[in-house]
Amino acid sequence: MAVLQSDRVLIAVNRALVEDLGYQPGETIGRRSDLFVAPHWRRRLERDWAWLQRTGRLTGERELVHADGRYVHVQFAAHSERITDRQLILYVVLDLSLHPMELKRPPRASARPLTPRELEIVAEIAMGRRWHEIAADLFITQSTVKTHVRNAMGKVGARSQAQLVAIALATGMLDPARARGQTRSYRGL
C-alpha cells in the first residue's frame, strides 16, 4: 500500500510494497509515483489519474518497475480522500502472481455480505488501527477482532488485511467518507 499526495508524490509506503518492488523505503518517499511505472504505461497513467481525480476511485492493472529493472504486472485499487485539508490517495497494489482478483467486477453473487460489525472492524483497519486498539474501543477481546477479520477475509476471498481493505474499497462495501464519520473523534480525522 502507498499514500500519495495529489501531485503523485509518495508520502508513505508499507514494507510489503517496497520489498515486492526491491526498493528501500527511502528510495520511494518523496518521489513521484510515475517513476515506478513502466514507460509504456505512462500515457495510460495520465488518463487514469484524471479519472481518479474526477471520480475518487480507480481500479486497474499496469506494470511497475522493479529496482532491478524488471517489470512487475500488478492489479491495483486507488481511492482519493480529503483528510485534514489535504487530498490524499490510498493506493493498494496486488501482485497478480500472488493471487489475482478481479477488481473491475462487483463481488460475485455467491459472496456473503459482511456483517455490520465486520464492516466496522474493516473500516478501523483501513484507518490504520491495530487489533488491540480496536478491541479496547469496541469493548471486545483481541481474539474477537481476529475472528471478525478472519471471517471477513474468508467471505471476500482476501489473503491479507491489505487485500481485505482493497476489496472493501474497490467494491464499495466500505465507504471511506462514512467510515471516517463513524470513527471516534480522538483520531483527529
Specify if 71 maps to a domain: yes
Q: What DSSP state is assigned to residue 12?
A: E
Report the alpha-carbon distance of residue 176 to residue 54 in Å, rounded: 16
Residue 109: the pLDDT is: 43
Is the domain of 181 the same as that of 142? Answer: yes
Look-up of cell digits 508513505: 12
Is the domain of 7 the same as that of 86? Answer: yes
H-helix or E-strand spanning residue 2:
strand 2-5
The answer to whether 62 and 72 have CB atoms below 8 angstroms apart is no
Is the domain of 130 the same as that of 177? Answer: yes
Specify if 111 maps to a domain: no
Specify if 102 maps to a domain: no
How many domains, in total, are found in the chain?
2
Domain containing 170 — which CATH number?
1.10.10.10
Is the domain of 73 the same as that of 121? Answer: no
**SS3 assignment, position 69:** coil
The answer to whether 122 and 114 have CB atoms below 8 angstroms apart is yes
Boundary (domain end) residue, out of 95, 130, 148: 95
Residue 188: the pLDDT is: 30
Is the domain of 80 the same as that of 15? Answer: yes
Is the domain of 72 the same as that of 147? Answer: no
Q: Buried b vs exposed e over 100-118: b needs ≥16 C-beta within 10 Å? A: ebebeeebeeeeeebeeeb
- Percentage, residues of the chain above pLDDT 70: 83
Is the domain of 19 the same as that of 62? Answer: yes
- Nearest alpha carbon to residue 118 among 160, 81, 155: 155
Specify if 11 maps to a domain: yes
Q: Which domain holds residue 121?
A: 116-187
The answer to whether 77 and 58 have CB atoms below 8 angstroms apart is yes
The radius of gyration of the chain from alpha carbons, rounded to an integer in Å, stands at 17
β partners of residue 81:
88
pLDDT tens for each residue of 72-121: 888 888 888 887 788 899 888 765 543 334 444 444 444 578 999 999 99
pLDDT tens for each residue of 123-154: 888 888 899 999 999 999 999 999 999 999 99
pTM (whole model) above 0.75: no
**SS3 assignment, position 125:** helix
Is the domain of 75 the same as that of 129? Answer: no
Residue 104: the pLDDT is: 41
Is the domain of 159 the same as that of 84? Answer: no
Is the domain of 33 the same as that of 73? Answer: yes
Is the domain of 82 the same as that of 121? Answer: no
Q: DSSP readout, 55-99?
A: HSEEEEEEEEE-TTS-EEEEEEEEEEEEETTEEEEEEEEEETTT-
Domain containing 49 — which CATH number?
3.30.450.20
Is the domain of 62 the same as that of 6? Answer: yes
- Nearest alpha carbon to residue 140 among 117, 123, 119, 161: 117
